[in-house]
Amino acid sequence: MEREVRSLKKSVDDIGFIGKNLISINDLTNEQIYKLFELAYMVEPWNRSKLNVLPGCQMATLFFQPSTRTRMSFETAMNRLGGMVITETTPLITSSSAKEETLNDMMEVVSKYANIIVLRHPDENEAMEAVSYSECPVINGAFGHFEHPTQSLLDLYTIWRMYGKIEGLKVCIASPDLIHARTGHSMAYALARLGADLYMASLERLRTPESIMQKVRNFNSKVKEVFDQSKDEFNEFISDMDLVYLPGCSAPKGEDAEEFKKIMDNYYVKYETIERAFKANKRLYVTHTLPRRPGEMDLRIDKSPGEIYFKAILYSVSIRMALILSMIGL
Domains of the chain, earliest start first? 2-148+316-328 (3.40.50.1370), 149-312 (3.40.50.1370)
Nearest to 194 by CA among 249, 162, 153: 153
Element (H, E) at 252: none
* Other CB atoms within 10 Å distance of the CB of residue 230: 10
pLDDT at 5: 77
- 215 burial level (CB within 10 Å; 0-12, 13-18, 19+): middle
Interior/surface letters 133-167, b for 16+ CB within 10 angstroms, e for the rest? bbebbbbbbbbbbbbbbbbbbbbbbbbbbbeeebe
Say whether pLDDT at 250 is over 60.
no
* pLDDT bracket for residue 39 (50, 70, 90): very high
Residues 56, 327: Cα–Cα separation, whole Å: 15
Say whether pLDDT at 80 is over 60.
yes
Q: What would the mean pLDDT of 149-155 be, rounded to a whole number?
A: 93
* Digit-coded pLDDT (tens) for 279-288: 999 999 999 9
Q: What would the mean pLDDT of 33-53 be, rounded to a whole number?
A: 95
Say whether pLDDT at 237 is over 90.
yes
pLDDT at 251: 57
Residues 145, 181: Cα–Cα separation, whole Å: 7
pTM, full prediction: 0.90
Residues 241, 170: Cα–Cα separation, whole Å: 5
* pLDDT bracket for residue 95 (50, 70, 90): confident
* Digit-coded pLDDT (tens) for 296-313: 889 999 999 999 999 999
